[in-house]
Chains A and B, each alone.
Chain A
Amino acid sequence: MTIAAIIDQAAMFNNLFIKQAEVHGMSQRGGAVQSHLRISDTEIYSDLISMGTADMIISLEPMEALRYMPFLSDKGTIITATKPFINIGNYPDENKVIDEIKNSGTNYQLLDIESLAQKAGNLRTRNVVMVGAAYKYLGIPQDLLEKSIRQLFAAKGDEIVSQNLKAFKLGLGANA
């Protein structure tokens, strides 16, 4: 949700149209959670993304990235964290999951957001690392994303804001 919130705000600053559908309720009790985010310079109708049309899948967990492959366009990119979240007994072999992403025939970016977030000084900045990594595909100027980050975390104090800005920059760098 945080990633979507940062991008939403930045898109608004950039005078773009946005729609972002999220999942609440039962599915949050350990179930898969996802968000459809659409950005455009013209009016957007559907809150849901059609199959085969997503430009990007941003995922905080590698197996979840694969789950939503049907939404990805053949020109799309997968940007995913590499650390698996194993809360089920039959989670597949971690390496096989990474291989599946590598062999998927799409552009991909694998990121160790845990260590990048640690470098930024706060594990909780993981999500913002991802925003940095996604920057190059978003079509929103960097300074507006940073403005959005500053606003979103302002209430939590200067230290948190600067940690998140650092996390964002580390994410940017990871993609270079």
Chain B
Amino acid sequence: MLGAEAIALGAIDEGISGVYAYPGTPSTEITEFIQKSKEATEIKIRSQWSVNEKTAYEAALGMSYAGKRSMVCMKHVGLNVAADAFINSAITGINGGLVLVVADDPSMHSSQNEQDTRFYGKFSFLPLLEPSNQQEAYDCVRYGFNLSEQVKLPVIIRITTRLSHSRSIVLRQTMTEQNEYRAETDQSKWILLPHNARKRYSALLDIQKKLVAISEASPYNRIEKGEGKNGIIACGLAYNYVKETLNAYNLNYPILKISHYPLPDSLLREFFATCDNILIAEEGYPIYEELLHGYFKNKKLKGRLDGSLPRTGELTPDIIARALGLKPNESAKTPEIVVGRPPELCTGCSHRDLFDAMNAILNEQSEKHVFSDIGCYALGALPPYNTINTCVDMGASITMAKGASDAGMHPSIAVIGDSTFTHSGITGLLDAVNDKNAVTIIISDNGTTAMTGGQKSGGTGRLKEICIGLGVDPKHLRSIVPLKKDFEKNVKILREEFNYQGVSVILACRECIQTLKQKK
């Protein structure tokens, strides 16, 4: 099973009562597994998609408050959205076990950045587990829930694309029953008024020593003895590539495997004492490399910061081999005849017709600025459309259009998908309505969360009512169907609303061609 599926199974087997998540590659499959699992359905594990990662995390906190176990899943940038709840949950602590699974995307195969969730681990002072393979992923989830209830803190599990979307055999252990309902009895810990929050924060700092001791005794951290004074610190998935390389070249270097943070102090000291040269391989930012260097660099240590490993992108066995000074295998070059095959919108996609209609008007202008967002329609940035100019973060299309309008831009146009709109666009639209901005917000509604595989979208069928509820003038809330046969009509409507000096919302509705296919 996939690493993602192993995590899902681990959670089912360790007695969760709910999973809360918003789709995001490479984490989506975790929740989908639970949704499709007959076992999970039979024992009533709650698993509907949340509107965004913040609402997901907070709902999980509520379940925890009531004494039951819950899991939250998201991609790395999703944690930025949930961060308010997440950081404060370390200070309140929890009741029922809570495990946060974050799937990072080194090399940004499907993301806007390659931020490293272990940074959030340090920021929040919470334990973080970073499994190296599919079996470990299953085991870590189960261990994580028990650890969470032991120390009364959320526990983070960090995986990356190559583990999430890779299959291997996983052995299951006996299932654990779900917790009984048992609401929080501590009358103050969840109230973060300053006088109380200060006490809780001190408590969080005080428990750090215990967390380090647990790390030192963890089954997920260990020194593997070897020969010689050259050693490798291998974090998470990097451990696989290190083992692969050492086996391939018949080497027996000592390895310090780290898959449980905070760092295991005693193991680190022992390792540094016995090695003269150490390569640290982290699948992500050089967070611990930097920490171990301190400000005045440690001469023993090599990694991404000195160029031994590339500063950006995911690791591979070949990259590890090169860092160890080993001769790589001979390999052919890709023949020059091979050309790139960039991603593109599906044939028949509704976004295509929308962009055609928009371009008809925009190409008449000397300048063209369209603020867009995260979803399939972001591919409108590529030829042949070249319609959009920005794609920054969830919901930014609307708010950037508002800000540009404040600076005098007109027309100021945003294109956002329906799922992204309910995720983080509603609040931006309310801002624009309150400020009476001259903006045109186009919601390209295909009735689904498409890029991640067609998950349910939060406001399907109710977008018109939501916009009216926010105060959008019904005269400037237009509906169009993005189809070739409606091209002339759609261009006319778009033009009217681009010219209007106030908030316009255009709902461009046509079902996603992929979800339509699935139904047949």
Contacts and interface: CB of A to CB of B under 8 A. Distances in A.
Partners in one complex: yes
Interface string B338-368: 1111111110000000000000000000000
A46 B134 CA distance: 11
Contact of A18 (B168, B338, B453): B168
Contact of B341 (A30, A53, A71): A30
A12 B109 contact: no
B307 interface: no
A22 B451 CA distance: 17
Contacts of B175: none
A157 interface: no
Contacts of A73: 329
B168 A70 contact: no
Nearest to B315: A48
Contacts of B453: 24
Given A29-B376, A48-B317, A50-B244, A72 B332 contact: yes
Interface string A86-117: 01101110001100100010000000000000
B174 interface: no
B346 A69 contact: no
A92 B331 contact: no
A21 B244 contact: no
A87 B343 CA distance: 10
Contact of B316 (A28, A48, A66, A67): A48
Interface residues of A, number: 49
Given A8-B167, A50-B329, A52-B329, A69 B26 contact: no
A87 B239 CA distance: 39
B331 A46 contact: no
Contact of B25 (A19, A21, A24, A68): A24
Contacts of B332: 52, 69-70, 72, 74, 104
Interface stretch (B158-166, B177-185, B463-471): B158-166
Contact of A88 (B339, B345, B376, B451): B339
Main secondary structure of the interface of B (DSSP, over half): loop
Interface in A48-92: 48, 50-53, 63-64, 66-74, 87-88, 90-92
B411 to A, nearest CB: 29
B518 interface: no
A155 interface: no
Given A26-B451, A69-B333, A69-B335, A88 B341 contact: yes
Query: Dominant SS at the A interface?
Result: mixed
Contacts, number: 147
B240 interface: yes
A12 B169 contact: yes
A20 interface: yes
A46 B317 contact: yes
A16 B343 CA distance: 35
Nearest to B330: A52
Contact of B169 (A18, A24, A48, A70): A18
A158 interface: no
B165 A91 contact: no
A97 B328 CA distance: 28
A28 to B, nearest CB: 8
B318 interface: yes
Contacts of B168: 17-20, 44, 47
B110 interface: yes
B251 to A, nearest CB: 13
A26 B337 contact: no
Given A20-B168, A27-B109, A47-B162, A32 B341 contact: yes
Nearest to B243: A45
B57 interface: no
B479 interface: no
Most chain B beta carbons < 10 A, residue from A28, A46, A71, A72: A46
A86 to B, nearest CB: 10
A93 B36 CA distance: 44
B331 to A, nearest CB: 3
Contacts of A50: 244, 248, 316-318, 321, 329
Interface of A: 4, 8, 12, 17-32, 36, 44-48, 50-53, 63-64, 66-74, 87-88, 90-92, 96-97, 100, 104
8 contacts: A21-B165, A29-B379, A30-B345, A45-B133, A45-B241, A47-B162, A64-B341, A74-B330
Counting from the closest, the 8 A-B pairs by CB-CB distance are A52-B329, A52-B331, A25-B110, A25-B25, A46-B244, A31-B343, A21-B166, A47-B166
Interface of B: 25-26, 28-29, 109-110, 133, 162-163, 165-169, 239-241, 243-244, 247-248, 316-318, 321, 328-335, 337-346, 376, 379, 451-453
